[in-house]
């Protein structure tokens, strides 16, 4: 994979950078700037080198329409604060305003183009449409740097197609992501523990299948755990379950046993009357969930079990919360897993928080990024990497 060094001296060059600034917003307030901070090493290096830095990114799902609430204006302001420079926001992606602002750039200047997903061509399934759009973006620059790991699992105009037109390389963030995830999947120090949560087994099918012959231990929490419990014949009450996944789960459990992979399931859960922040809750054995209740988190014994299994590891990959962490009453399981990774890191283990909800959870629960070996910026991308899939946005950089 080509890197920044392969592009040569970039002083005075117009460098088009695809970043991932898909940050959560509360109105115009950014509630988690982790993805913006993750882009700083690449953007700062280019700025210091005297390049004219033109940044592209998306925010939310405007579906090819201009949605004022999804403007990158708050991102431009925050990026400027973090970099200590004035970041100019273009009011379009490749139109008159973008062209004028790029033409006025001096060495070291930073311009952020407006949300690329305001353009329907960005995510078009028609390669010709995407390529024509990418050519318009490419005219703004001399070289392209791909640094938005969160989008490399999709062939999109501002990522994949631009890389086929301009001299291209991976930014520092993508290099860091690939190195970390490869270390975990290709040459993990053992014991290698994979912790999976989230609501659905179907979302993690590929990961489970790929890691059943690589991991030493598979720890299952989140809403997906109830499909595993149901597959064992346990009563799960009104808990979330994917009936059509039960036979698949049974097969995975058999494969785990055959391969000597330790499958760790909760021994108790926090059950509530309904899916609500203020719903009364009670801890019950995992195999005895009352018929009128639903499980919304793992309970105390399971929290300790999961924590201890994680600490007894040399490599840990975690993707997906253990419960409904957005509700404080059902956040303890996710917090226990996060603390397990922190303690494992302190003990010398290599730990990865696999992006998406997991990354948001650790920050919302008060943990710091440097308490883990690596926090991925790509939810779907990190999952597909763990599945062993070929990611278009990475392949195009080879």
Give me the DSSP letters along 63-96: TTS--GGG-SHHHHHHHHHHHTS-EEEPSSSSSH
Domain count, the chain: 2
Domain boundary, last residue among 128, 146, 173:
173
At 279-289, the pLDDT tens digits run 999 999 999 99
| Confidence at residue 333, expressed as pLDDT on a 0 to 100 scale | 98
Which residues line the annotated binding site? 20-22, 35, 58-61, 117, 154, 204, 295, 326, 355-358
| Confidence at residue 347, expressed as pLDDT on a 0 to 100 scale | 98
| Confidence at residue 356, expressed as pLDDT on a 0 to 100 scale | 80
Parent domain of 98: 4-173
Q: For residue 355, name the pLDDT band (cuts at 50, 70, 90).
A: confident
Fill in the DSSP letter of residue 267. Answer: S
Residue 393 in domain: no
Q: Which of 171, 221, 356, 393 is the catalytic position? A: 356
Fill in the DSSP letter of residue 160. Answer: I
Domain boundary, last residue among 158, 173, 188:
173
Residue 351 in domain: yes
- Average predicted confidence (pLDDT) for the chain: 96
Domain identity same for 22 and 102: yes
At 71-114, the pLDDT tens digits run 999 999 999 999 999 999 999 999 999 999 999 999 999 999 99
Q: For residue 345, name the pLDDT band (cuts at 50, 70, 90).
A: very high
Q: Say yes or no to pLDDT of 47 above 90.
A: yes
At 187-213, the pLDDT tens digits run 899 999 999 999 889 999 999 999 998
Residue 397 in domain: no
Domain identity same for 242 and 360: yes
Domain identity same for 119 and 140: yes
Domain identity same for 325 and 256: yes
Residue 199 in domain: yes
Q: Which of 183, 200, 209, 304 is the catalytic position? A: 200
In the chain, the percentage of residues whose pLDDT exceeds 90 is: 94
Domain identity same for 93 and 213: no
Residue 395 in domain: no
Q: Which of 35, 78, 230, 335 is the catalytic position? A: 35
At 326-342, the pLDDT tens digits run 999 999 999 999 999 99
- The CATH number of whichever domain residue 376 belongs to comes to 3.40.50.1260
Domain identity same for 88 and 107: yes
- Residues facing 111 on adjacent strands: 54, 88
CB atoms within 10 A of CB 48: 9
Domain boundary, last residue among 173, 198, 213:
173
Known active-site residue 356? yes
Which residues line the annotated binding site for substrate? 20-22, 35, 58-61, 117, 154
Q: For residue 239, name the pLDDT band (cuts at 50, 70, 90).
A: very high
| Confidence at residue 289, expressed as pLDDT on a 0 to 100 scale | 97
337 phi, psi to nearest 5 deg: -65, -45
| Confidence at residue 252, expressed as pLDDT on a 0 to 100 scale | 96
Domain identity same for 121 and 232: no
Domain identity same for 106 and 232: no
At 216-227, the pLDDT tens digits run 999 999 999 999
Known active-site residue 63? no
CA angle 75, 42, 319 (to 5 degrees): 75
Domain identity same for 184 and 161: no
Residue 273 in domain: yes
Mean per-residue pLDDT, 265-269 = 98
Q: For residue 294, name the pLDDT band (cuts at 50, 70, 90).
A: very high
Mean per-residue pLDDT, 302-319 = 98
Residue 25 in domain: yes
| Confidence at residue 360, expressed as pLDDT on a 0 to 100 scale | 86
Measured between alpha carbons, how far is 105 from 88 in angstroms, rounded to an integer?
Answer: 10
Whether the CA torsion 47, 51, 52, 57 is positive or negative: it is negative
Which residues line the annotated binding site for (2R)-3-phosphoglycerate? 35, 117, 154
Domain identity same for 368 and 270: yes
Number of alpha helices (DSSP H) and beta strands (DSSP E) in the chain: 14, 17
Domain identity same for 337 and 237: yes
| Confidence at residue 276, expressed as pLDDT on a 0 to 100 scale | 97
Measured between alpha carbons, how far is 33 from 79 in angstroms, rounded to an integer?
Answer: 9
Domain identity same for 213 and 154: no
| Confidence at residue 65, expressed as pLDDT on a 0 to 100 scale | 97
Known active-site residue 200? yes
| Confidence at residue 148, expressed as pLDDT on a 0 to 100 scale | 97
CB atoms within 10 A of CB 237: 19
Fill in the DSSP letter of residue 245. Answer: G
Residue 398 in domain: no
């Amino acid at each position: 994979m080509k890197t920044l060094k392969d592009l040569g001296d970039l002083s005075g060059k117009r460098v088009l950078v695809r970043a991932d600034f898909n940050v959560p917003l509360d109105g115009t307030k950014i509630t988690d700037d982790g993805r913006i901070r993750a882009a700083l090493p690449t953007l700062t290096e280019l700025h210091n080198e005297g390049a004219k830095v033109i940044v592209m990114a998306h925010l939310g799902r405007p579906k090819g329409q201009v949605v004022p609430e999804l403007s990158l204006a708050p991102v431009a302001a925050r990026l400027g604060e973090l970099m200590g420079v004035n970041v100019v926001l273009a009011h379009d992606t490749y139109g008159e305003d973008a062209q004028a602002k790029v033409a006025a750039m001096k060495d070291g200047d930073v311009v952020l183009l407006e949300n690329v997903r305001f353009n329907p061509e960005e995510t078009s399934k028609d390669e010709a449409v995407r390529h024509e759009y990418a050519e318009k973006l490419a005219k703004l620059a001399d070289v392209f740097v791909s640094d938005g790991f969160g989008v490399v699992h999709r062939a999109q105009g501002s990522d994949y197609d631009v890389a086929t037109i301009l001299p291209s390389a991976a930014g520092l963030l993508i290099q860091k992501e690939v190195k970390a995830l490869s270390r975990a999947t290709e040459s993990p120090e053992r014991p290698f523990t994979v912790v999976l949560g989230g609501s659905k087994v179907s979302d993690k099918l590929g990961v489970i299948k790929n890691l059943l012959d690589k991991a030493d231990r598979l720890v299952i929490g989140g809403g997906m755990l109830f499909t595993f419990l149901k597959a064992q014949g346990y009563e799960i009450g009104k808990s979330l379950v994917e009936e059509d996944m039960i036979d698949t789960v049974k097969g995975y459990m058999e494969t785990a046993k055959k391969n000597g992979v330790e499958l760790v399931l909760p021994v108790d859960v926090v059950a509530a009357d309904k899916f609500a922040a203020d719903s009364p809750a009670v801890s019950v054995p995992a195999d005895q969930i009352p018929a009128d209740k639903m499980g919304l988190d793992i309970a105390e014994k399971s929290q300790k079990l999961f924590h201890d299994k994680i600490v007894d590891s040399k490599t840990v990959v975690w993707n997906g919360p253990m419960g409904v962490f957005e509700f404080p009453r059902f956040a303890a399981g996710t917090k226990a897993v996060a603390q397990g990774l922190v303690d494992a890191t302190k003990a010398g283990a290599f730990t990865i928080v696999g992006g998406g909800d997991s990354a948001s959870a650790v920050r919302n629960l008060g943990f710091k990024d440097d308490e883990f070996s690596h926090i991925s910026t790509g939810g779907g991308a990190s999952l597909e990497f763990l599945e062993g899939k070929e990611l278009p946005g990475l392949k195009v950089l080879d």
